[in-house]
Amino acid sequence: MPPHRSLLERSTPLPGCPGVRAIEVVRDAWRRAALDLAAAGGRLLSLWADAEPPRVHAAIQCDAALLVLRMALPDAATPYPGIADIYPAAQRMQRAAADMTGIRSTDADTRPWLRHAAWPADHVPLGSATAPASGPQAEADAYAFVRVTGDGVHEIPVGPVHAGIIEPGHFRFSVVGEKVLKLEERLGYTHKGIEQRFTQMAAQDGYRLAARVSGDSAVAFSWAYCQALEGLCSRELPPRAAWLRALALEAERIANHLGDLGALGNDAGFAFGLAQFSRLKESWLRAQQTALGQRYLLDYIVPGGVARDPAPDALAALVECARDTVRVAARIRTIYDEHEGVRDRFVAAGAVAPELAKQLGLVGFAGRASGQEQDLRIDMPFFPYSELQVNRSLRTDGDVAARVAVRFDELAESVRLVEAIAARMPSGDHACEVGAPAAGSAIGLIEGWRGPVMIALTVGANGAIQRCHPHDPSWQNWPLLEHAIIGNIVPDFPLINKSFNLSYSGHDL
């Protein structure tokens, strides 16, 4: 029997998303299990740690299942075996876990990722009930960037404060002329304290905070949270509630692709695209507000179902708006494809080869533009996606043009799904009481518009949240942006960056 199959057979199901399992491993088996799963094509979805009691977790997707490796530690001061050489995406997750819990890996990169001297180096945000002492904090850590030297090489530091309303992030470009030789990122400047705030809440209330981890993925995060909570409550949703959640998830996907397709046209110097897609997005948000009660669905998903059941005429109007949207988007796609200036900016810009995408774990629509097939709606279909037969869009060029093509494809597919969901919408209740959750741990897992969104929830006997770890797919994809810009010119960075459109907020926990 292959070693990874043995791991899966010895694991036990976790409440929440179907297909999620967990296995306890000892220290000597931690890396061996990670290697066995990697050899079978497994991909790291998330890594996080608990401070009390000290424990580390790694969620790895393999064979249409998500296997969570759990390893108890003797104490928080004992480093655990790092796995960044097996799964490169683990590096920043391990650094973030060290900042938040004090639990470190044995890997060499020990630079802080989230702290930025916002709290004393000996303070553990997720391991202490008290706030750090007030007063002046230590000076910012000396953060070692990789220096590129040679004739004509210079550095362009950008951020962390940016023009506009985006959240802070620091980008250091090493360039010769306008050609980028290297980019190094540093994120996590806002310090929202989301993971700590969860531990101050009752489990029944956490869905609202989950929706605000990354506002553009509110449906995905709140559904993942409620999926985990409902698993602990042993409560099955009314069928209509599940179909309405899928409707909201595809509506969120449509809104984000509409906004980004317009911004991409604008970044290519084609303001017509921005104007047209802005108009389409505004029409879509208005129809969404009429049908679902909110322009942005921050509080639409609630424990036990959804907050509002759309009236039949409002649902029909939403479907008609979706049809109009995809018809106009198809015409704009033809213009993008045939416009020489747009094509010149899109084609070959910010390319990520499939081999690199696989090695570093690129996920979501960006991964599918680089030949990576993963889509939870197809690979681990949760209800009602198990009834919907989602079509997958793939490209292999991995450049801006490929990511734009996949976005257009997924926009059209989401419109098709909205039509199918509305046509098959069952009657019945749109919500139910879920009751009190049992003490324990559960995993929620949803394919958001950007990629897989996960919530790892642990609830105590009193119904309070002991630990809640939200994971945004940007953790996997931000490092790929550093590779995508190499060899491109500095003015193309906004275009390449927007083609991924990664979340700052989802990093800043």
Element (H or E) spanning 156, and its range? strand 153-158
The two structure tokens encoding residue 464: 């309070």
- What is 257-279 written as a DSSP string? HHHHHHHHHHHTT-HHHHHHHHH
**307-331 mean pLDDT:** 98
**305-328 mean pLDDT:** 98
CATH number at residue 495: 3.30.390
Q: What is the pLDDT of residue 127?
A: 82
**192-214 mean pLDDT:** 95
Q: What is the pLDDT of residue 131?
A: 62
In a domain, 54, yes or no: yes
The two structure tokens encoding residue 28: 């000597």
| 57 pLDDT more than 70 | yes
CA-closest candidate to residue 477, choices 347, 357, 396: 357
| 136 pLDDT more than 70 | no
Q: Do 348 and 275 reside in the same domain of the chain?
A: yes
In a domain, 216, yes or no: no
Domain boundary among 101, 133, 152: 101
Q: Do 329 and 421 reside in the same domain of the chain?
A: yes
pLDDT digits (tens, 9 = 90+) for 97-117: 999 999 999 998 989 999 888
Q: Do 263 and 391 reside in the same domain of the chain?
A: yes
Q: What is the pLDDT of residue 67?
A: 97
Q: What is the pLDDT of residue 122?
A: 81
**Cα gap 120→132, rounded to integer Å:** 7
| 42 pLDDT more than 60 | yes
pLDDT digits (tens, 9 = 90+) for 206-264: 999 999 999 999 999 999 999 999 999 999 999 999 999 999 999 999 999 999 999 99
**Higher per-residue pLDDT: 229 or 167:** 229
Domain count, the chain: 3
Q: Which domain holds residue 381?
A: 236-433
**Higher per-residue pLDDT: 151 or 390:** 390
Q: Do 46 and 153 reside in the same domain of the chain?
A: no
Please compute Rg for the chain using Cα positions: 22
Q: What is the pLDDT of residue 166?
A: 79
| 148 pLDDT more than 90 | no
The two structure tokens encoding residue 139: 């000076």
**284 three-class SS:** helix
Domain boundary among 101, 131, 158: 101
Q: Do 374 and 278 reside in the same domain of the chain?
A: yes
Q: What is the pLDDT of residue 165?
A: 75
**Cα gap 219→250, rounded to integer Å:** 9
| Identity at 467, one-letter amino acid code | R
| 129 pLDDT more than 70 | no
**Cα gap 154→175, rounded to integer Å:** 6
In a domain, 322, yes or no: yes
| 138 pLDDT more than 90 | no
* pLDDT interval class at 130 (50, 70, 90): low
CA-closest candidate to residue 352, choices 360, 341, 340: 360
**Higher per-residue pLDDT: 277 or 192:** 277
Q: What is the pLDDT of residue 137?
A: 59
Average pLDDT value over all residues in the chain: 94
| 134 pLDDT more than 60 | no
Distances (CA, A) of 76 to 9, 46, 124, 129, 423: 30, 20, 11, 16, 53
| 135 pLDDT more than 60 | no
CB 245 within 8 A of CB 425: no
**291-305 mean pLDDT:** 97
CB contact set of 301 (below 8 Å; sequence gap of 6+): 207, 211, 218, 219, 222, 223, 226, 245, 248, 307
**Cα gap 266→353, rounded to integer Å:** 25
**Cα gap 276→258, rounded to integer Å:** 9
SS (H, E, C) 454-502: EEEEEECCCCEEEEEEEECCHHHHHHHHHHHCCCCEHHHHHHHHHHHCC
CATH number at residue 374: 1.10.645.10
